[in-house]
A and B are shown apart, each in its own frame.
Chain A
């Protein structure tokens, strides 16, 4: 039985000055025509490297040190550079993650298509144009004739990815490798692109390898799954088996850590298989600690009140005011949050949810509307020291763990900055002690204080951000997509940490995300935003069981069906 693609015992190495790094060890997998193989793993697992190795596009100094890759029974490693070049595009196609940078911004898409068609097939001239039009229609782009003359920047992200798929299919390959094809796209567009890939796979009898870290994607279109961890394939099997009854421990904990959308659990199941996530740092009795002392205000009103919020941005400036193009980012937004509850703000990118968060935090000034944090009007807080106590009540955690910390400051200084600035202690040694306790409490360990951010992983940096936010003893914590940039396993531990902290400190949380299952697990109430407006506000359970607004229903439908996972 000859498979379309047969990989056996593949070893990929990267020699560096610190020694040789094994990106892949003894990797074996196979793909057949007409099936989708999902290659899933977290960042650093080596899955993209395997994809690159198949078509001989490993980044230097990477090299294949052992193993065989057979395509249609022929050994690819025996081929020379020119033969491989001909196989690329003609027989094996590849799609990359970011459609924005995959296309040459200075060439029309028609030119790029025709170039590939003429290279990979014998079609020339006008026939090539017609073939290009046909391809565009097959990937679902309407008005294809006009589109040929357009440039990439004139397309939206989803349409660009369709063009990329058309380019990959131009030579009519038998095998397509898709490396995180939907990661850079919106949720609703993701579903469309995945459907397209599945349709093309069946129609053209392609073999497809989908490389991804997103279990939802796997559940959506994969027929078979191979799970990678640290360069090794730990398990392979049918999608139903992998998702429903995983055998290997890592797979099991990985599947379990994916947030469920059907019921709210007490805590997220964390992925214990990963080495190094042991939390045996000392936990402080935070209620009796300095950190647990909340401000003495006896205020029993709403934690957060937002009324008729408006904000517009200038898109294109022009000499005359009427020619100026404005974008209404926030349109008449109103909601309120009780003390101690977790309020979720949901929407796709561009919905305005992050903008609302920044308005509340005081980073932007609204055009109209009122924002009250614990009764105090945010926009009348002047920047004088007298009002610092009001500023302390609100803190924020951000999405990108890499840009949310100043790379040139030590962790100690980063976390101590609010304490020092608000002059919350009387001595530097007291400050230091508090910082050490805080670092212990968030699971980093006091020894981290002398290190710099780049020495830590993404999840650890988020812990530092959390420590910094807690240092001013806030009562309202805004979390702007705090785990969207993290691996599933790390996500679970960070979210558990946030849950614990909220309970210990009685925090009110405003939780912003596009990920509905996470929202389900974290939030008590939910507001859905779209194009700057609020579509629906409701209690979490009510929302997930019977949503009212049509857009809410649309979002819920888009959630990957995890029914293959048994509870």
Chain B
């Protein structure tokens, strides 16, 4: 068990190291930091002074070490565009994104897994066929199209829900949550549904495929030969064996949600880190791009580590060698 965790940790560190290197090179090689800080009108002396202040003339390894040091303190400097510290900006907007991802994750996992199991067990019923065809449609709908369609339908036509923005926030220290008010829920519904749809269909299809695969195994055949009820076979044997590989999907799912939150936040103007990232890319606001990259990598590394450990705990073949 120990070697397992060590290996995973080593891999995580490797990921973070590479990501930090990429992040660092963004700073140094994309755009000119000095230009971005002071604009076109600065004099030559001012530029030289700023270069020295920022330490841009030091050898690269020194700069890199400084960068890593700063990174560990979560200090990425000032945003080129907004002129405020990046870490402040991120902290401000992180809760919005995390809550959106959380709600979407619940929707996609819950519906995806239950519907996947249902269509796996009742393979040939009408409802299964319908669900399956819709899932194919679901995988074909780009997130932004869904978003636009939902806005048009629920916000413009029916006027039931707001078309953009995040309202109804309540403060919990530095964390602003919108999940405690009805208004907050009304504003998060559309974005969350939009974000979850793609992942939901993916999970549904994967779970179903896994279930069908399990139903074909020899031990299910042997269980039938022992006369166990279909119910016992489905729920005690097949389900357990289906869900174990599905655990790995949870990690991918959350990863995909965080990724596509960028798109969803853009469509709904949801004030999260994703929207900030897109605006930064547009402007080539390197500090935010670099910080976002590191943040996202860190999140994924933690999630993957967690999923790996979960897998280890749940599958006796890995846990007990033998």
Contact = CB atoms under 8 A, between A and B. Distances in A.
B315 interface: yes
Contacts of A127: none
Interface string B226-238: 1111001000110
Contacts of A88: 224-227
B322 A151 contact: yes
A102 B217 CA distance: 8
A90 B244 CA distance: 31
Contacts of A151: 316-317, 320, 322
Contacts of B236: 107, 115
Contacts of A86: 227
A431 B23 CA distance: 59
Contacts of B219: 101-105
A106 B222 contact: no
B6 interface: yes
A79 interface: no
B319 to A, nearest CB: 9
Residue among A86, A115, A120 with max Cβ neighbours from chain B (10 Å):
A115
B3 A318 contact: yes
A77 B219 CA distance: 25
A67 B102 CA distance: 60
Given A101-B218, A101-B219, A153-B316, A167 B244 contact: no
Contacts of A116: 226, 228
A55 interface: yes
B241 interface: yes
Nearest to A94: B225
Nearest to B314: A106
Interface string B278-322: 000000000000000000000000000000000000011100111
Given A102-B218, A106-B315, A57 B224 contact: yes
B129 interface: no
Contact size class for A?
Answer: 20 to 34
B240 interface: yes
A319 B218 contact: no
Contact of B232 (A87, A115, A168, A316): A115
Contacts, number: 87
Contacts of A318: 3
B221 interface: yes
Interface string A83-94: 001111110011
B227 A153 contact: no
Nearest to B240: A106
Contacts of B241: 104-106
A88 B321 CA distance: 34
Contacts of B223: 104
Contacts of A98: 218
B283 to A, nearest CB: 46
Contacts of A85: 227, 229
A154 interface: yes
Nearest to A108: B316
A171 B227 CA distance: 10
A120 B226 contact: yes
Contacts of B227: 85-90, 119-120, 171
Contacts of B240: 104, 106-107
B225 A96 contact: yes
Nearest to B7: A319
A115 B317 contact: no
Nearest to B228: A119
A105 B320 CA distance: 12
Contacts of A222: none
Contacts of A102: 218-219, 221-222
Interface in B87-119: none
Nearest to B236: A115
Contacts of A93: 225-226
Nearest to A323: B3
Interface in A422-444: none
Task: Pick the 10 closest A-B CB pairs, nearest first.
Answer: A89-B227, A88-B227, A154-B322, A101-B218, A89-B226, A94-B225, A151-B316, A102-B222, A104-B219, A85-B227
Interface of B: 3, 6, 217-219, 221-229, 232, 236-237, 240-241, 244, 315-317, 320-322
Given A57-B221, A106-B244, A151-B317, 6 more contacts: A94-B222, A96-B222, A101-B218, A102-B222, A105-B316, A115-B228
